[in-house]
Structures are given as C-alpha cells and as structure tokens.
Chains A and B, each alone.
Chain A
Amino acid sequence: METLQGILADHPFARGLKDGHLALLVGCASNIRFEADQVVFREGEEANQFYLIREGKMAIELFAAERGSINILTLTEGEVLGWSWLVPPYRWRFDARAIQSTRAIALDGKCLREKCERDHDLGYELLKRVVPTMEERLQATRLQLLNVYEVHT
C-alpha cells in the first residue's frame, strides 16, 4: 500500500525534498477526494489549505455579477491549487471547483506556516516551489489578457 510520504514524494511539487522536510510536510498532509462539480473553496473564505492534484481536474473560477462563474484556469495531475495560504490575510481570492472526480493531497497551510517559521530552510524550499508556479500563472495571465485570438485592426 502506498504511504502518504511516498505519494507526496512522487508529486512534482515535493519531488527532491530532503527526507526531513518531506516528513515535516507529511505531518501537515492528508489524502482528499472531490466529486465532480464539488466546490473546493470559495472566494473570501479562510485559505487554510492548498492542494497537490494527483488525478482529475479542478477549475479556478471568478464570479462576476451578470456573467456568472467564469472558468479562468483548469489544473490537472501534477499541479498545485492555491497559494493564498502563504500570503496574508490568508483568504482565497477566487473559487475552486472539481470538474471531474479528483484525488489530491491537502496540505494544511496553517500548520506549514508554523513549521516554516521554526525552520527557515523548509520555508525557503517551499517558496522555491511555490514561486515558479506563481510566475508561470502570471505569465499565462498576461498572455490571456492580450486576447491574442481577437482580430486587431
């Protein structure tokens, strides 16, 4: 049977972490499953967890009056959902919903923040893994903003 430590070590987010750091992460981790269409979190709620997707598909959505929920990004296997747990005031800035039945590892952000305060090496390791994701999403958002497929005259 796969252990949580093994599952975590296999995920691209945690791959290559030192055993000690991995053990600290496992202490804040749990397996979780979302059914299709299940809401994972909503904008404004406390961001106490983030998710490493193992299988399935999640959508990041923004609700706009008159337009309803707009799907702005989907995330699949190997990707990370959420970084608001790391940035004060630790509130979600968007909604998240499972599009398909999805398996993930939930990491308790509060627990991790406390561990990172005590062990800055761990904090730096985690930042090195979160920041590239933030950078990729920022670049993608910029490209999305350009609306490149529109006819520009």
Chain B
Amino acid sequence: MVPEPWCVRRLWWETDDTFTFELTPENGRTKFHFLPGQFNMLYVFGVGEVPISVSGDPAKAERLMHTVRAVGPVTRAMGSLKRGTQLGVRGPFGTCWPMEQAVGKDILILAGGIGLAPLRPVVYEVLAKRQIFGRVYLLYGARTPDDILYTQELPELMKEAKLQALVTVDRAGRDWTGNVGVVTTLIAKAQFDPGNSLAMVCGPEVMMRFTLRELQKRGMRTDSVYISMERNMKCAVGFCGHCQFGPTFICKDGPVFRYDQIQHLLAIREV
C-alpha cells in the first residue's frame, strides 16, 4: 500500500513528551472513515513509518487526529513537523473496539498513559449516542499530574455528566488534590453491573494484566473485556511478521482483542 499525502494543520503538545496533531488530506480525498481502535501507519518522509492509533472523533471524517508520544527517531521527527508539512498516511488498519456489543450495557473505559489515545474515539462515539448505553465510566491513570492527556477535554466531559470520568496518578506533589494511586484502584469506585458490562482496556501490558485481575475480582467475565495490544508493526497487513504474537498478527487480527481469546498467549513468557 502506498502512503497518501496528508498535511499537518495543527500540532500541539499535550504533555512534555506527547503531542496531538490534526491532518487534512492533500490528494483530493475529502473523508477518512475509521472505527474506534483502528490505527494508521504514519510516514515522516526520509525518516520512517510508525503505527499510531487514530485519536480523533469518528464522526469528523474530514480531518484526522493522532496523539503521539515522542520516544523514537520517527515520533520525535513527527513532533517537530511544522504546519503545512506533508506526511504519508496508510490506513486505517486493524480491529476496532466492540461498540455494537456495548449497546445496552454499562461501559468501563480503562486507560493508562498514552493508552487513552486509542480510546478517545470510543468516548466520542459514546457521547454521540449516549442514550443507547448504560452507565459509562472513564477510568484513567497517568504517571503524574503533568502527564495527564487531554486536560482541556476531561473537565468538560465531567461537567457534561454524560459519563463519569475518574482520573488518578501514580505520584503527585502536595498541590495535586485529585486521586493518587494506580488505575486499578479506580475500579472499586465505579458502580457497574458486572454481569451486564463491557470493559475496554488500553495501556502498558502489565497495567492491563493487573486491571484484568481487578475486573475479574469484581465479577466481570473475560469475554466481556477487550484489550488493545501493541507490537512492532511494519507492514500493517499481516505479511511481514514483525508483529506476530503466537499464531496472531497484532496488525491484522488486532490490535483490539477479546481478552479470553488472547489470554493464553499473554501468560507465555517468550511468545
């Protein structure tokens, strides 16, 4: 697949190492449709290509939004792109969050760190169709208060009271009056029906493992939990094998998996 040229319209830093940018199409394309949880391959010309989840609103198809943590040569180069610069986009790829299965159920959106980015489209979709879901909780954990993403949006979401957003940080100074503790501690604060709920979890793998344990303790079944996995994705269409995880390819069969279908692989130390 050949990357399509897109243009950087806006780029802003969410935290010290994480930015969001908005792209618009260059080659006559007017819409870009994606499903919450899918990712694109973003190509900084002359530097390299990386898989990044779409973090924007699925209903706003005329622009594309990605939130990126600048940790390697490509993502650092991406963070320094100026308005008007071209970028290559291939996608969307991969499986999506199970929005249809969530209808009529309580929803737990559990995110850790940059894991909030692939879940943000879920939040937009839930807010757009709020009445068809039960209780909705966004439980979000970050390292410190300075590492919290979307600080403009989160208070707005809480104000609207369409969903209950609970945020916690792993450590904080005295000036922070919010919650301190790991993200799993928020699960006990959520009032949901474990027999009629669906959880969508994204974050570091170890955080997801602890989260799963806590959800099971609260009575949730593993087939009601979905997680988003991350591996070294290169081709994004299941050919190259870079992201192979046991018999699955994260790029093609994932990144979103139902937990009971992948649980056995997560328990193997050297897959």
Residue positions of A touching B, CB distance < 8 A: 57, 59, 61, 68-74, 76, 99-100, 136, 139-140, 143-144, 146-151
Besides the known contacts A74-B179, A140-B181, A147-B170, 10 further A-B residue pairs in the complex with CB atoms under 8 A apart: A68-B173, A69-B174, A76-B179, A140-B182, A144-B171, A144-B182, A148-B113, A148-B207, A149-B113, A149-B142
Residues of B within 8 A of A59 (CB): 180
Least CB separation from B143: chain A residue: A149
Q: Are B174 and A148 in contact (CB under 8 A)?
A: no
Complex interface bits, B204-230 against A, C-beta within 8 A gives 1, otherwise 0: 101100100000000000000000000
Residue positions of B touching A, CB distance < 8 A: 69, 71, 112-114, 141-143, 147, 168, 170-174, 176-182, 184-185, 189, 203-204, 206-207, 210
Rounded to whole Å, the gap between the CB of A36 and the closest CB of chain B is 9
Tell me the interface secondary structure of chain B in the complex: mixed
Q: Are B180 and A72 in contact (CB under 8 A)?
A: yes
Least CB separation from B142: chain A residue: A149
Q: Are B189 and A76 in contact (CB under 8 A)?
A: yes
Residues of B within 8 A of A136 (CB): 185
- 15 A-B residue pairs with Cβ-Cβ distance under 8 Å, sorted by A, are A59-B180, A68-B173, A68-B174, A70-B171, A70-B172, A71-B171, A71-B174, A73-B180, A74-B178, A140-B185, A143-B182, A144-B181, A144-B182, A149-B112, A150-B143
Residues of A within 8 A of B143 (CB): 147, 149-150
**In whole angstroms, how far apart are the Cα atoms of A90 and B112 in the complex?**
36
**In whole angstroms, how far apart are the Cα atoms of A45 and B180 in the complex?**
24
Q: Are B71 and A151 in contact (CB under 8 A)?
A: yes
**In whole angstroms, how far apart are the Cα atoms of A143 and B213 in the complex?**
12
**In whole angstroms, how far apart are the Cα atoms of A94 and B112 in the complex?**
27
**In whole angstroms, how far apart are the Cα atoms of A73 and B172 in the complex?**
9
**In whole angstroms, how far apart are the Cα atoms of A72 and B210 in the complex?**
19
Q: Are A73 and B181 in contact (CB under 8 A)?
A: yes
Least CB separation from B177: chain A residue: A99
Least CB separation from B174: chain A residue: A69
Least CB separation from B181: chain A residue: A73
Ranked nearest first, the 9 interchain pairs of A and B with the lowest CB-CB distance are A149-B113, A149-B143, A148-B204, A74-B180, A143-B182, A71-B172, A148-B207, A71-B180, A140-B182
Residues of B within 8 A of A68 (CB): 173-174
**In whole angstroms, how far apart are the Cα atoms of A148 and B206 in the complex?**
7
**In whole angstroms, how far apart are the Cα atoms of A70 and B174 in the complex?**
7
